[in-house]
Amino acid sequence: MSGIDKIRTWLNKRRDLNRHPPAPHYWQIFAVVAANLVLLSFLIFDEPVGASRHRDIFTRSLGKMITEFGSSGWILTAAAMLALTGFASWRLSRGARQRFRALYLGQIGAYAFLAVALSGILANLVKRVIGRARPGQFEDWGSFGFSAFSGAKFESFPSGHATTVGAIFMVLILLLPRYRLAFMLLALWMAFSRVMVGAHYPSDVIAGLSFGAWFTLLLANVFARYRLVFMPDAKGWPVPRLALITGHRPA
């Protein structure tokens, strides 16, 4: 039996041994609300933002400082290092409790990496196909200008940075739900910094932020099905198997 077959067999056993309620339909409500917010922003806010894209120096400087935190490069590197460190420690640890914690951290790293990487790949594919002109092209194309596969100047919708922000902060919200309000506020500032620097329209940011968060939530439901990182609560919502700050949660 190959390594892939062994992993598949192991996952199937975990799925079959851990029966749980079906995932809730909140993700569908989330998708509908997000789609309407994107449409409203597209119709109401994008054109005024494009017409006034020349921000004052303070706003642009603040946006540039904040927007760097939304780069996927360092996030993917950190997630990969966490995954590798966790899995290596799991192989080397002796005690059952230490092995469980090490394996859990490795799974978190893998989950965060997949959430950011896969949502980012999909967002970048979509933005190339849609080909929306960036705010820098507003004078020639307006806020309704589209030209598919025409290069970086026509890859505005959705925002890749905002997608990354939505993904990584949804990871944090699911793992540390007690701090979800703070994470939401930070996500909004980091995502809308793309508008502050004149790189995207509001609808681009809302779409990217929502898609990243939505994709990460769906991925959490998949992980919960196999009791990886998450487990389903009584309503089927993914909750962490281990409380990272307050102590151990039974698996």
Radius of gyration of the chain (CA): 20
pLDDT in tens, 214-236: 999 999 988 988 888 998 887 77
Percent of the chain as helix, strand, coil, to the nearest 5: 70, 5, 25
**What pTM does this model have?**
0.85
CB 186 within 8 A of CB 169: yes
pLDDT in tens, 141-152: 888 889 999 898
Confidence band (pLDDT; 50, 70, 90) for 3? low
